[in-house]
Amino acid sequence: MATSLDLIWIRQDLRLHDNPAIFHGGGRPSLLVFTLGDFPEEQKTELARAWLHAALKSFANDLDHRYKAKMIFYPGTLLEFLDSVKPLVDIKKVHWNHSYTPAGIERDTLYQAALSERGLEVEAHAGNLLHEPWDIHGKNHAFIEHFSPFQRLYFDQLSHRTSLDYPAHVKTEIVKGVNYGTLKELKLISNQKRYDDLLDYWDISEKAGRDLLKAFVKDRLQHFDDSCEIPSVQATSKLSPYIAWGQISVRWIWETCDNQGGGEDAKTFLNQLLWREFAYYSLFHNPQLLQEPFSKDFERYPFRSDAGRLEAWKTGQTGYPLIDAGMRELKQTGWIHNRIRLVVSSFLVKNLGISWQEGAAYFLEHSIDADLALNTVNWQLVTGCGVDSYPFSRILNPVSQGEKFDPEGIYVSHWVPELRNLPEKWIHQPWNAPIDVLKRAGVEMGANYPRPVVDFQESRSWALDAFHAMNGNDEIYGTG
């Protein structure tokens, strides 16, 4: 006779605290299953699989340590798993936390219908956003195109759900004949060195995310407004990968920061969580944003195809030190400071003339905090073609941005060590430095450090001319 059990389906919610699927499903005897075959296509990169391996390892250890519970590692899909255990297990109910990407929503809708046909009950939970995007409505149920009214709605009108504690029980069962698999059998690590390097920079666990939040609130939140734009200072939370992988709850982050008194520093930080909510809300109502600009005029913008310039940008060899520092940080650590993200994105699209889709695809592949909604909305924001975007004419100057946010060249010196001996005056514009200064610093332009791939002012003028040819209604706001 088949054993009667529930099933808890684990996806990108690799935590025990404030995990509604586990909290509500763990009280009954269950199978707790991760299915690699359902993993999102955009998260199948080498870097993503390496992070996933470490996150699953830590999560399985936490389950065993806290509850003596066991997880099943299955290489196929949920439906395939259910077929494989059908003779052995009578599944009554399936718990999962909502997915919010277009492909995830489509899959969950299909699965819910398929499971209902099999007589299984599905209980889908709100687990990874502050509010479900389909529950947020503007005036007369209109789509909210701008962040400010969306922000006011969150702060003034929406009541926030309280986070859930660790579940009292997680009762997983060992069923004879069921193959529980092993993490190693999923073959997630294709590059052992890349995996080892990742572990040198990151502690990939739920505990690490919670410890980061605790340290951030204690030591840095009260100064966040003043220091969050400085890339050489450890002022940001660095929680983004833990949020992206569901290793920490956004509700818990909100509560923890809001409980500090809700001052301006806390509000500035919480606005970053709200921007993530806005990104998912925007993508839910406009799934075409993954491929198309929100502003249809930009379908006429003459983006260039230039493999050489694109490769220089990817590898940190553009000849602009702040750009190169950011792209090298991304390549080595899988993470990049938010201010630098804006500058390197603006440079690719507006100075190199390469499409935002190229940049978005590269960031998805090489960022450990890759988030489909945020990544898409952020690239369109910088380009000027998205919801609540910057004016196109906001073209960030890598030299002035470096002098403003890295005035001593500390960030550039770390990631572009061939320039570390240059004086502060020249470190963000080495091509303008006198020959004797370059010689003393051991810098030879075009030899051990590249000359700029484009002239900033000329490329800026080209971009603005192209924009005006497309749609000449933009006001000139300056270069940043």
> pLDDT tens for residues 339-367?
999 999 999 999 999 999 999 999 999 99
Q: What is the pTM of this model?
A: 0.94
Q: Is 238 left (phi over 0), alpha (psi -120 to 50) or beta?
A: left
Give ranges for CATH 3.40.50.620 in the chain. 3-127
Question: Is the pLDDT assigned to residue 460 strictly greater than 90?
Answer: yes
Q: Which whole number is the average pLDDT over 79-103?
A: 95
Q: Which residues lie below 8 Å from residue 105, measured CB to CB, with a gap of 6+? A: 99, 284
Residue 289 near residue 377, CB atoms below 8 Å: yes
The whole-number pLDDT of residue 473 equals: 53
Query: What is the distance between the alpha carbons of residues 450 and 135, in angstroms, rounded to a whole number?
Result: 51
User: What is the rounded distance in angstroms from the CA atom of residue 403 to the CA atom of residue 401?
Assistant: 6
State percent of the chain over pLDDT 90. 82
Instruction: List, for residues 202-211, the tens digit of each pLDDT value.
Output: 999 999 999 9
Query: Residue 262's pLDDT band (boundaries 50, 70, 90)?
Result: low
Which of the two residues, 27 and 260, has the higher pLDDT score? 27
For range 407-423, the mean pLDDT: 97
pLDDT at residue number 476: 40
Q: Where are the alpha helices (DSSP H) in 220-286?
A: 224-227, 240-244, 250-258, 264-285
Q: Which residue ranges does the chain devote to CATH 1.10.579.10? A: 296-470
Q: Domain 296-470 carries which CATH code?
A: 1.10.579.10
Give percent above pLDDT 70 in the chain: 97
Tell me how crowded residue 470 is: count the other CB atoms within 10 A of its CB: 16
Cα distances (angstroms) measured from residue 51 to each of 21, 94, 195, 241: 22, 26, 8, 9
**Is the confidence at residue 479, as pLDDT, over 60?**
no
396, 342 Cβ separation under 8 angstroms: yes
Classify domain 3-127 at the CATH topology level. Answer: Rossmann fold (3.40.50)
